[in-house]
Homo-oligomer: A and B are copies of this chain.
């Protein structure tokens, strides 16, 4: 499914994109900003994610050096995930993304409605201001 010879050599950005272009990964990174979080704590907060996918995503992020994994020998065992210094530099950018999303979600929804109504021409004219007025 993946041809490193074609993708990564040409454009290293794609490798990074493959990681952060993941809804769950972004969500996790965002949640860890406040401090270390335990596995099931993440699981409960990010409603809708399965433990398998959460586990996989955490492992990928750890492999990329974006988060760290700390095991405490309590009974039962406690595992805390936290941002690494590298991971923290990424959350700043992710925060900008979240900011855009919060400010433009209405414009996107308005465009979708216009498109679904059958007039895509109107959709492309939707702006953040238009959406704000409509609200």
Contacts and interface: CB of A to CB of B under 8 A. Distances in A.
Nearest to A97: B93
Interface residues of A, number: 58
Given A104-B86, A116-B63, A123-B62, A47 B6 contact: yes
Contacts of A23: 14, 17-18, 21
* Residue among A7, A19, A89, A114 facing the most chain B CB atoms (10 A cut-off): A89
Q: Is the interface of A mostly helix, strand, loop or mixed?
A: helix
Given A3-B48, A48-B6, A62-B123, A97 B97 contact: yes
B105 A100 contact: no
Given A21-B21, A97-B97, A111 B64 contact: yes
Nearest to A3: B48
A71 to B, nearest CB: 11
A31 to B, nearest CB: 11
Contact of A107 (B65, B109, B111): B65
Contacts of A93: 96-97, 100
- Top 6 nearest A-B pairs (CB, nearest first) are A65-B111, A16-B101, A68-B124, A12-B105, A13-B101, A21-B23
Given A63-B115, A84-B126, A86-B107, 13 more contacts: A6-B48, A12-B105, A16-B104, A17-B23, A17-B26, A17-B27, A20-B97, A21-B23, A62-B120, A64-B111, A84-B125, A89-B128, A93-B97
